[in-house]
Amino acid sequence: MQNKKEVITVIGAGSWGTALAMVLADNDHAVRLWSHNEEQVKEINEAHTNKKYLPGISLSELITGYASLSDALAGIETVVLAVPTKAIREVIGKMREVLTAPITIAHVSKGIEPDTLLRISEMIKEEMPAELLKDVVVLSGPSHAEEVSLRHPTTVAVTSENMAAAEKIQDLFINNNFRVYTNSDVIGVEIGGALKNIIALAAGITDGLGYGDNAKAALMTRGLAEIARLGTKMGANPLTFSGLAGIGDLIVTCTSVHSRNWRAGNMLGKGKSLDEVLDSMGMVVEGVRTTKAAYQLSKKYDVKMPITAALYEVLFNGKDAKDAAEILMSRGKTHEMEDLVNILEERIDETEFN
Ligand SMILES: NC(=O)C1=CN([C@@H]2O[C@H](COP(=O)(O)OP(=O)(O)OC[C@H]3O[C@@H](n4cnc5c(N)ncnc54)[C@H](OP(=O)(O)O)[C@@H]3O)[C@@H](O)[C@H]2O)C=CC1
Ligand SMILES: O=C(CO)COP(=O)(O)O
């Protein structure tokens, strides 16, 4: 089922980079796990643990920690990039200084850059010179690091503009605990993975407010509707949003106590301030910056995203979460599917004219 054994570099030894390094090591690949934290590299190499991010988990001896980026990248063909969205440009900037041959980057991050409104694969292509970049692959889907590190059954999707590159990443990762599907819709997979964090924050807030299961189901369903509207307007295949990177990731992030986005929302719903919440997390909460980016995207593409807009007001303009929920519930009457159908029809018309 799998390709030949390879040496693979994982950039970023947070929870997701470390869990993915474990999957690769389970498939007998040697993994160079790079971290900018020398203490953490020492811990990985001497104790074979990464206690801050995956407490109670032992790491395979096939995983070696690296503090030097040039050593970690020497002679490597495939890099798994697992840092938060806000670190992508800085890290790629450092990588391009030390690379001497082109690599394939499989990125596993879930975000959109505010202001530029670029997806992560677009940021990577902007930062990495073309002669150093073979392909960009995206790996996304319902996959909490805590459960992957326990080898619980998990499914994800991989996509790329070059499907042969996506299939190579599928081969490197797939095993009986970690099932990898291909999908050819790069825009849809990246938009689904990034925007579900917004809805997870909102679901955490409603849970924190004690609103219960009806409210959460409403948020998830109508949240998916606005993700699908924006994604489809941006050129995604609407069917992607009923797949792993869409509804799949939305379900896991809105319902799991592992989700940092849900937990952050939950604390907000219980009355903590955004600063207090982010200070106490110690791990990335991607949904906060993504809310800003998606709010800007909704304006740019003229797509209605009422949940995103309400969360934007709560996070950045100090609106009370209960008031935001009330405003959402008292909006004018609307059809459940009409806006998405209109966007699809516009796209069909454009295709006919071209
Ligand atoms: N955790 C999960 O279950 C999943 C996460 N993801 C996505 O993966 C991405 C990474 O998340 P995750 O691993 O969970 O995040 P964590 O917060 O657990 O870890 C982030 C890692 O990136 C490092 N880092 C942060 N900034 C920089 C920088 N400027 N230069 C170098 N290293 C840096 C951190 O170092 P330090 O320790 O020094 O802060 C840490 O090692 C996110 O986009 C997330 O949405 C996707 C699927 C599942
Ligand atoms: O993307 C994830 C699971 O698929 C992780 O979500 P959180 O960042 O909310 O923990």
Domain at 140, CATH number? 3.40.50.720
Q: How many domains does the chain have?
A: 2
342 and 201 inside one domain: yes
14 and 84 inside one domain: yes
Residue 1 lies inside a defined structural domain of this protein: no
168 and 203 inside one domain: no
Q: What are the E-state strand segments in 90-152?
A: 103-107, 133-140
The residue nearest atom 6 of ligand 2, judged by CA position, is 259
Final residue of a domain: which of 184, 212, 237?
184
157 and 53 inside one domain: yes
Averaged pLDDT of the chain = 96
133 and 12 inside one domain: yes
Report residue 200 CA to chain centroid gap: 12
Work out the angle at residue 291's Cα, subtended by the Cα atoms of residues 227 and 209, and round it to the nearest 5 degrees: 95
Binding pocket residue ranges, ligand 2, CB within 6 Å: 110, 142-144, 197, 200, 249, 252-253, 258-261, 286
pTM of this prediction? 0.97
51, 150, 294, 305, 306 from 346: Cα distances, Å = 51, 46, 21, 18, 21
Ligand 2 pocket test, pick from 252, 266, 283 with the greatest ligand atom count within 8 Å of Cβ, gives 252
Residue 353 lies inside a defined structural domain of this protein: no
213 and 180 inside one domain: no
Residue 2 lies inside a defined structural domain of this protein: no
Single out the residue of 353, 287, 240 nearest to residue 109, CA to CA: 287
Task: Please give the average pLDDT of every successive group of 10 residues along the chain, which has 354 residues.
Answer: 81 98 98 98 98 98 98 98 98 98 98 98 98 98 98 98 98 98 98 98 97 96 98 97 98 97 97 96 95 98 98 97 95 95 93 62
Domain boundaries, position 26 = 7-184
Ligand 2 pocket test, pick from 120, 148, 286 with the greatest ligand atom count within 8 Å of Cβ, gives 286
d(CA 296, CA 298): 5
- Please state the ipTM of this predicted complex: 0.99
246 and 331 inside one domain: yes
275 and 311 inside one domain: yes
259 and 205 inside one domain: yes
Residue 354 lies inside a defined structural domain of this protein: no
pLDDT per residue as tens digits for the range 254-270: 999 999 999 999 999 99
pLDDT per residue as tens digits for the range 164-205: 999 999 999 999 999 999 999 999 999 999 999 999 999 999
Residue 196 bears catalytic tag = yes
The DSSP letter of residue 119 is B
Work out the angle at residue 82's Cα, subtended by the Cα atoms of residues 70 and 52, and round it to the nearest 5 degrees: 100
229 and 289 inside one domain: yes
